Amino acid sequence: MRIQLNQWMVPGSAKMWKKTNDKKAINHSHPFAQTMSFKKENSENSFWLPQVPAAEENSMYSQLTKSMKDDYKTKKVLKKIARGEQLNEEEMAHLAKIAPEEIQKAKAASQRRKEIERQVAAAKTKDEAEKILLIAKQEAIVAANSKYSQAYGEYLMEAVSKVEEKYRQGKSLGGEEPESSTGLDIRV
Q: Are 120 and 127 in contact (CB under 8 A)?
A: no
Cα(16)–Cα(51) distance, rounded to whole angstroms? 5
Residue 84 CA: distances (Å) to CA of 5, 13, 132, 179, 182:
47, 54, 19, 25, 31
> pLDDT tens per residue, the chain (188 residues)?
444 444 444 444 444 555 555 555 555 545 554 444 444 444 455 555 555 555 555 676 677 787 888 888 888 888 888 888 888 888 888 877 777 788 888 889 999 999 999 999 999 999 999 999 999 999 999 999 988 888 899 999 999 999 999 998 875 555 444 444 444 455 54
Q: Are 173 and 166 in contact (CB under 8 A)?
A: yes
Domain positions in the chain: 2-52, 70-168
Q: Are 82 and 112 in contact (CB under 8 A)?
A: no
